[in-house]
Amino acid sequence: MCNYTFPQVNYNKNDYIKSCNYYELINLNSLKHLDTLDSKGKCVFHSEDIKWKRESDFYRLLSLLIDIYEEKKEKGNLIGVHFISKRENIPIDYLDKLAPCYLQYATFCDDVIMSEVEVASNNEKKSFDFRDCIFIKNFLIKNCKIKQDVNFSGIQVIDTFEIIDTFFYDFVEFNHSKFKGSLLLTNCHFKEQFFFQNVFFEEKSTLQIHSTFHKFSLFEKCSVNSSIIDFSDCEFYGETIFRDLKLEQQSFFNNIFVKKVLVFSGKNENRIFHAYTEFNINEELILGNISFDNTNISCIIKEHKENILQLQSTGKIIIERGCIKYRLQTDEIEIFISEGNQLLIDEITRAYTNFFILHTGKNLGIEIVERASEKITLFYFSDENMSQEEFLRLLEDSQKTFLGLFSNFRNYLSNTKKEDYVLNGINGIISLMTISFRAALLISLGKWKREDTKALLNSINSTDSILVNEELHNQLSSINVSNALREGIESNKLNIINFHQINQKGKSNVYVEKNFKGDLAPNSQSSK
């Protein structure tokens, strides 16, 4: 008797363990009398000894076993069978004959091919069940029509697993599958739901899918370290979700078609794209929209990323909170806003980004994520080629220098070169003084509180500035705007500022404007 025991799901120690009964089944239902076992006590079906299996006429006995199941009108049980080809040096070409049977935990020892075959559904067995099967060599399905649901969950693929020009009329599932080799789904049509979850690809494998998905499709929690990850030219007619995938190598999503919704949804610790990514979008192929949520868009090559960002205005691209759009960016900053401080916050953020660019020679941008009645959320970003650590260091250094201008801008001017004064004076000094004067006037009018000063500091990502909130607020409160303006004008250093205080219907309004006239550098002389 074969010593193979069928795997038990949710096994309890008191459960009955079912052993292989294939020989008994054949002996009772045919003229055969089988009792030979291999050196490990396995029958011809469960034996791993390929040479002995061929000598024992494996395929003829397999056909007999399947016929017996069909005559008895029972679902064929081929669990754990080690399949080999009919003859040596040819592929296993009888896959369609196995369709009515349970195939879990089976091993396919030779190449597998099924070509130009229609696998019809029946009332007894509607699933082509490959759960937990092992494919040691190449697997190929080509030009077929499969009208049963197909389950590839838990499979292990050592070599290439390829399906070409095939129609699946029921749902298809890959779940907890492992690929040491490659998976290729080319020109296939998945007419019903498609599930691709918890699939693992090793480093030397490839994942290439160029097919059409007609209904809901889910790609979820997959770790793909393949040398190539390619979904180019896919067509998604139903809602499609890529959720918590980890694509660690170069990825391609070029020229995809989207009829409804295509969603990329990551997590803080895994924003899907982790390497070079191409995502070329043809606007005419997007009938619905593509949504990015918590996704690292910065991995997408510059040309394609710029196109994605521009398409936001059409509604065909939606970029949600938590996405990394740029190579470098700060965390989101939430700032309290009021009627009094909102305009100054806008101005100081613009002034700071200009100052950073001139102070460091690096690019810096600011993006408003959300603007509500009581708060504004923003972050700073850059696409410069440097580390995140270097980016944050430059931000901190420039913040301290920028904030230092509040306390002693004259010292800054006297210690800078003429050409730096012209550049930084326009973008930093003048803007900061404008902000200071306006904040001071608002304080005197009772329209600026300490919370406003704190918001002003927070807006430039200040966490450890040389002027803490209390010190800065006290300094702003002590400014005599009229005297400061008069002193600046008399010293010929602020002749580009015009100040107006307007009373309208009993309300005081402050208006400060820049008046760009003449040479900005101090003690300048006309050229002869």
Quote the pTM value: 0.75
460, part of any domain? yes
Tens-binned pLDDT, residue by residue, of the chain (528 aa):
899 998 865 545 444 458 899 999 999 999 889 999 999 999 999 999 999 999 999 999 999 999 999 999 888 899 999 999 999 999 999 999 998 899 999 999 999 999 999 998 764 556 789 999 999 999 999 999 999 999 999 999 999 999 999 999 999 999 999 999 999 999 999 999 999 999 999 988 999 999 999 999 999 999 998 889 999 999 999 999 999 999 989 999 999 999 999 999 999 889 999 999 999 999 999 999 999 999 999 999 999 999 999 999 999 999 987 888 888 889 888 988 887 788 888 888 988 898 888 878 899 999 888 888 888 999 999 988 898 899 999 998 888 888 777 666 556 656 665 555 445 555 566 777 788 888 888 888 888 888 888 888 888 876 554 456 777 788 788 877 666 656 655 554 444 444 444 444 544 444 444 444 434 333 333 333
Asked if residue 99 lies in contact with residue 76, where contact means CB atoms within 8 angstroms, the answer is no
144, part of any domain? no
- Nearest residue to 170 via CA among 234, 205, 215: 215
Can you give the pLDDT at residue 492? 46
Can you give the pLDDT at residue 489? 53
Using DSSP bridges, classify how beta strands 206-213 and 178-179 pair: parallel, antiparallel or unpaired: unpaired
CA distance 290 to 198: 23
CA dihedral 352, 358, 364, 367 (to 10 degrees): 40
24, part of any domain? yes
Burial state string for 246-279 with b = 16 or more CB within 10 A and e = fewer than 16: bbbbebbbeebbbbeebbbbbeeebbbbbeebbb
Can you give the pLDDT at residue 408? 61
Residue 78, H or E segment? none
Q: Which DSSP symbol is given to 482? A: H
300, part of any domain? no
Asked if residue 264 lies in contact with residue 293, where contact means CB atoms within 8 angstroms, the answer is yes
484, part of any domain? yes
206, part of any domain? no
* Location of structure tokens 């918890």: 198
Query: What residue type is 316 in one-letter code?
Result: K
Burial state string for 401-436 with b = 16 or more CB within 10 A and e = fewer than 16: bbbbbbeebeebbeeeeeeebebbbbbbbbbbbbbb
Can you give the pLDDT at residue 508? 45
356, part of any domain? yes
Can you give the pLDDT at residue 275? 92
| 108: phi then psi, degrees, rounded to nearest 5 | -105, 110
Q: How many domains does the chain have?
A: 2
Residue 227, H or E segment? none
Can you give the pLDDT at residue 301? 94
176, part of any domain? no
- Supply the range of the domain harboring residue 103: 1-108
- Nearest residue to 265 via CA among 291, 287, 289: 291
> Which of 108, 141, 176 is the endpoint of a domain?
108
Residue 381, H or E segment? strand 375-382
